[in-house]
Amino acid sequence: MEQTENYYTCCASATETVSEIRDDLEQYREKASDETRYFSMIQKLADTRDDLSWDSHSHTLSFSVGISETQQLSVVLEIFYPQKKSSSAYQILQWNTELTGSWQPDNHQNVFKGE
């Protein structure tokens, strides 16, 4: 139950981050004179935030949110230069849980020793 609650809390946090990014992208679209300037503003955003990583070749912005000591939610957004005000500025490419540590199985076996 706790794992499920942690997952939903993590998803809520990631959704909030995506909303913040969406708001930033709308502002950049209004301020940028061209596509190059738009993407350079996104690069600056990623440079100022420790939680974001920008790939200028694939135009992807990524971040992760911890779920537990051994899991994280990994999010990758493909960023577009919107040609129109109503155009979408991003697409979610990845929203996955990933292991961050190694799994340690419980190999302990209770052996019946008789009465």
Q: pLDDT tens digits, the chain, 115 residues: what are they? A: 888 899 999 999 999 999 999 999 999 999 998 999 999 999 999 999 999 999 999 999 999 999 998 899 999 999 999 877 767 899 999 999 998 877 667 677 777 777 6
Residue with tokens 């949110």: 65
Contact 36, 23 (CB under 8 A): no
Strand ordering across the sheet containing 71-79: 53-55, 60-66, 71-79, 90-99
Three-class DSSP category at 57: coil
Entry pTM: 0.82
**Residues 83-113 pLDDT 10s:** 777 678 999 999 999 988 776 676 777 777 7
